[in-house]
Copies of this chain bind each other. A is one copy, B any other.
Amino acid sequence: MPGIGKKNLEIMFLHDKPARIITKMKGQKKYASVLAKEVDCTYSHCVRILQDMKKLGLVEFEKKGRIKHVILTKSGEEIAHSMEGIYLSFDKI
């Protein structure tokens, strides 16, 4: 049951929402609403996590008119890369 194993590993080691959000943002601009759907959390929870990430210097918000994108900083990309490594190691088990 690899799927169940992966879920249990995620539960054991990670805060799943922030870990998934940063992994999903790797190398891409995203809307918060799209991210929220991708990681299966509410829009407001997703925005709260993104604001915390901004405080830690991991993301920037880009505003163009009414459109607001979120994008990883260099530090954010580093963590996203390592986090992807964690998920890949979960997949192997």
Contact of A18 among B13, B79, B85 (CB under 8 A): B13
- Verify if A68 is at the interface (C-beta below 8 Å from B): no
- Kindly provide the distance from the CB of A4 to the nearest chain B CB, expressed in whole angstroms: 10
Task: Tally chain A residues at the interface, Cβ within 8 Å.
Answer: 27
How many copies altogether?
A: 2
Q: Is the CB of A79 within 8 A of B56?
A: no
Majority DSSP secondary structure for residues of A touching B? helix
Asked if A61 is an interface residue, CB under 8 A from chain B, the answer is: no
Q: Report the Cα distance A47→B13, complex, angstroms.
A: 16
Asked if A39 is at the interface of the complex by the 8 Å CB criterion, the answer is no
- Complex: how many Å from CA A12 to CA B14? 9
A interface list, Cβ under 8 A from B: 5, 8-9, 12-15, 18-19, 22, 52-53, 56-57, 75, 78-79, 81-83, 85-86, 88-90, 92-93
